[in-house]
Amino acid sequence: MGAPVVRVEGLVKRYGGATALDGVSFEVGKGEVFGLLGPNGAGKTTTVEILEGVRAKTAGVATVLGEDPSDLKRGRSVKRKMGVLPQDFSAFARLTVRENLEFFAGIYDSPVNVPELIGLLKLEEDSQKRFALLSGGSKQRVGVAAALVNDPEIVFLDEPTIGLDPEARRATWKVISDLKDRGKTVVLTTHYMDEAEKLSDRIGILVKGKLAVLGSPAELIGRFGGSKTIVFKNGGDAVFGTLRRFFDGATMEGQDVVLPFENLRDLDVAMGALVGRGLDSDVALRQPTLEEVFLRFAGFRMTESGDAV
């Protein structure tokens, strides 16, 4: 890996007395997709906005393509090569999708072809509609299109698939993986575990302004995901009470009863106990996912909207 495209070191951000970023460090190499995963208020947006040069940092280092994006002169040359989808993207309310994208194209020196971009993001049907009248999902796709209008080297996407239906979400994933195939560098923030796991080469889990852990999805799951588990679907209290006598590690998740899986004997013992009592339940073997890694570092699970539960 040559010089990193993004370098963040000891980054600190305070809003008044509140510390939003408390010494965050990571690097993103050329052609890498880096996922910043974290609950609401973790500091994801603050981090990317500092990198985009739209927010001032309190202390530490934040460079993009070797330059400080907040620098007036050098920052501008970095911004030419940067694509940005802000959180809660918006555009001129009374201009159409096409007019808005033509506006964004017009403020860069060598923009891509706007009709092609409209096709890429599947915005053909909306292209003559005013921005204010679009659905949330279409607005979001206009934002992604606007982020790609200058054929950027590095793209920052702050929650690119929020508010999209599953189909549109997969289409956006495809756009992101195509960017990667073309050698572009991508930094994305998300609440969605599956999105982070599927798209990212490396993931940083941000919790309360600190980077809790950093690594590839496989690495993180392998090291911190814990063992496989046996899940008794909708087992309820009866199944739990029975298994509790044989396994100290038995826990309940809602109505599901969960056992750590060490070897086949465990399964045999558990089944024997349940059959002996005449209890029945669906059984599944579960591989650890990023969710377990997240739980371990954050101390809580996260809903799809990023709330802690």
Partner 1 sequence: MKLVVVFKAVTRNWLRSRSGLFFSFLFPVLLLLLLASVSSTPGVPGPAGLGAGYYVASVTAAFVMTNGVIGLTNVGSELRRNGVLKRLSASPLPKFEWLLGNILSQAVLALILAGVMLALGAVLFRAEYLVNFFSIAILVMGTLLFSGLGMTLAGVIKDPETASGVGNAIAFPMMLLSGTFWPISAMPAYLQSVAAVLPLTFFSEGLRDSLVVANFQIALTDLVVVTAFAVAFLLIGTATTKWSEP
Ligand X SMILES: Nc1ncnc2c1ncn2[C@@H]1O[C@H](COP(=O)(O)OP(=O)(O)OP(=O)(O)O)[C@@H](O)[C@H]1O
Contact between 46 and ligand X (CB under 6 A)? yes
| Spatial distance between the Cα atoms of 169 and 167, rounded to a whole number of angstroms | 5
| 3-state SS, one letter per residue, for 90-125 | CCCCCCEHHHHHHHHHHCCCCCCCHHHHHHHCCCHH
Asked if 108 interacts with partner 1 (CB under 8 A), we say yes
Among 5, 6, 20, 186, binds ligand X (CB under 6 A): 20
Torsion of CA 64, 65, 70, 73, to 10 degrees: -170
| N- to C-terminal Cα separation, the chain | 38
Give residue number: closest CB to Mg ion. Answer: 45
Both tokens assigned to 27: 């690097």
Task: Tell me how many residues contact partner 1 (CB under 8 A).
Answer: 32
- The correct pick among 45, 140, 150, 161 for binding ligand X (CB under 6 A) is 45
For residue 141, give the amino acid letter: R
Q: Can residue 52 be called a binding residue for partner 1 (CB under 8 A)?
A: yes
Binding mask 30-49 for partner 1 (x = CB under 8 A): -------------------x
**From the list 15, 92, 246, 300, which residue makes contact with ligand X (rule: CB under 6 A)?**
15
Binding mask 65-104 for ligand X (x = CB under 6 A): ----------------------x-----------------
Residue with smaller CB distance to partner 1, 82 or 207: 82
Q: In what order do the strands lie in the sheet with 251-253?
A: 251-253, 256-260, 229-233, 282-286
| 3-state SS class at 87 | coil
Query: Nearest 10 degrees: CA dihedral of 190, 192, 198, 199?
Result: -10
Residue 146 tokens, joined: 């606007």
Q: How many residues does the chain have?
A: 309
CB of 106 to partner 1, least distance (A): 3
Q: Does 90 bind partner 1 (CB under 8 A)?
A: yes
* Residue 172 or 281 with smaller CB distance to Mg ion: 172
State the minimum distance, in angstroms, from the CB of residue 251 to ligand X: 28
Task: State the nearest-atom distance from the C-beta of 209 to ligand X, in Å.
Answer: 7
Binding range to partner 1, per CB under 8 A, among 102-110, 261-269, 280-288, 299-307: 102-110
d(CA 127, CA 134): 10
Contact status: 41 vs ligand X (CB under 6 A): yes
Minimum separation from the CB atom of position 93 to partner 1 (A): 7
**Which of Mg ion, ligand X, partner 1, none is residue 258 near (CB under 5 to 8 Å by kind)?**
none
Q: Which residues contact 194 (CB under 8 A, 6 or more apart)?
A: none
